[in-house]
Structure 1
Amino acid sequence: MYSSVLVIDDHKMVANGIKMLLGPLFEKFHMAHDGASGMSKALQHFPQLVIVDFLLPDITGDLLVRELKCKLPAARMLAYSFSYSPDAIIKMLQSGINGYVIKKDDDDEFIRAIHLLMEGRDYFCKEARIHIVNRFSGSSDDYMNSHLIANTKFSGKELELVRLLCKQRTTKEISKHLHLSERTVEQYRSNITRRIGAKNLAGVIKFALQHGVIQLEEL
């Protein structure tokens, strides 16, 4: 069981539904229905996890996340929204969000995202990953990245680990697949992200797609 979660969503039925779903996972559950009350409750309770909708009555989710991250740098942030527009997803990504799940997705994906974020990982649903890739695929550092894979000298096992990371497999799942200890998997992951200069999962996915390590339809 995790410590505490704050849900900021103006749809009270959605917030109550999340409470029913996450009740067994968290010792304390808090909710707010606009940005102002969300910030107030965040500063009052200091939750481990904040779940934020993109569209709120008084502020957009990306601006709220920026404020929350300044006040609660240790908290994990998950966007949970009806919106799957590229603009919304990219704004939330740039705000420093740790994950994005669309409300039409099933409960299993939502719970998976919660667990991964609480383990210190990132999680972006398939629609979000596609928009992230499309947004950054033509960035100005493509020329530099095109030469990077030749110098990293990845082993076959490391490349397979990159593919599994892109598919958002857990450390335990990767450990079982590659027949490595979970500690070794974490060491591999840390080393790989450092070598390719990726700051988060989106960076790993971008690198893997640009260099043919994984195909878009495999995500």
Structure 2
Amino acid sequence: MTTELTQKYNSVLVIDDHKMIVNGIKLLIGDLFESFYMAHDGATAKSLALKHNPQMIIVDNYLPDTTGDILIRELKYKLPSAIILVYSFTYSADVILKMLKAGANGYVIKKDDDEEFVKAVHLLLNNKEYFSQEARTHIINRFSGTEDDYSVKHLIANTKFSGKEIEMIKLLCKQMNTKEISKNIGLSERTVEQYRSNITRRIGAKNLAGVIKFALQNGIVQLDDL
């Protein structure tokens, strides 16, 4: 944990129409970044993002001139490498899934404690997705339904994975990063990355939620495992 506390990241842009929340975030994580930018509406956010190309973008769902999912899509299109964390009071399943589909890398609910927020920031900046427990529950519940999705079932029936790949899918569902997976299954980090890329390509998953959906529907993991 010591390395996390002393590590300096590049830059962050916080987008929230409540100035007190932005100021609170700055007090909480401002020292972690070389540069800290803030915006209180979507238009200003886009302008600052294009000008400074922040490493991380923290965004609320409701803004005066747009919604978080629309803004995330626009920002991801212009800045595909930006890491986006949603920080919102909203814990509606529909909103969480909209943000996820738009390209969010993580979701933390504002009622969660400060430690969870800081943990999410560190994990995302170390190439790992993070969804707080309530957000993950919504995602899992939505993706573990029994709807008759022919295309998904057809994909599952025709996708065969090795034992090593199945084990990796399980570890990915537990939100382990490349280094952790490497230690668990005894492969180099480079090989793990190749496996991960191959798995997500074959599944057709764009993010962690897609891997979880596949794993649940294919019986690779159970809800109790997550």
Q: Would the alpha carbon gap of residues 184 and 48 (structure 1) be closer, same or farther in structure 2, given more than 3 Å must change?
A: same
> % of aligned pairs identical?
70
CA-based RMSD of the aligned residues comes to: 2.4
Which whole-Å CA distance do the structure 2 matches of 1:190 and 1:213 have between them?
A: 18
Deviation at 1:61, TM superposition (A): 1.1
| Amino acid of the structure 2 residue aligned with 1:33 | H
Worse-superposed segment, 144-153 or 177-186: 144-153
Q: Does 1:181 align with 2:188?
A: yes
2:89 is equivalent to residue 82 of structure 1: yes
User: In the alignment, which residue of structure 2 is the partner of 1:218?
Assistant: 225
Q: Distance in 2 between matches of 1:184 and 1:60?
A: 39
**Deviation for aligned residue 1:150:** 4.8
In the alignment, what sits opposite 1:162? Answer: 169
The 5 Å alignment of 1:14-163 reads: 14-137=21-144, 142-163=149-170
- Tell me how far apart the structure 1 counterparts of residues 26 and 44 of structure 2 sit (CA, whole Å): 18
Cα distance change of structure 1 residues 105 and 175 upon mapping to structure 2, 3 Å threshold: farther
Distance 1:159 1:194 in 2: 14
Contact 2:46 2:75 survives alignment (8 Å):
yes
Aligned-partner Cα distance in 1 for 2:158–2:80? 34
Unpaired segments ≥5 residues, structure 1: none
Instruction: String of CA shifts for 1:85-109, please: whole Å, max 9, x gaps.
Output: 1121122123222221212233343
The alpha-carbon distance between structure 1 residues 197 and 56, as it changes in their structure 2 partners (threshold 3 A), is same
Secondary structure in 1 matching 2:165: helix
* Distance change (3 Å), C-alpha of 1:218 and 1:137: closer
SS at match of 1:24: helix
Deviation at 1:16, TM superposition (A): 2.0
Q: CA shift at 1:208, angstroms?
A: 0.6
What do residues 9-54 of structure 1 show as CA deviations (whole Å, max 9, x unaligned)? 1222322222223233211011122223222322332211110001
After TM superposition, the score normalised by the length of structure 1 is 0.86
Letter in 2 for 1:75: A
Match status 1:9 vs 2:16:
yes
Cα gap change, 1:137/1:218 in structure 2, threshold over 3 Å: closer, same or farther? closer
Q: CA separation in 2, counterparts of 1:60 and 1:68? A: 12
SS at match of 1:23: helix
Task: Return 5+ residue gaps in structure 2 as ranges.
Answer: 1-7
**Partner SS for 1:161:** helix
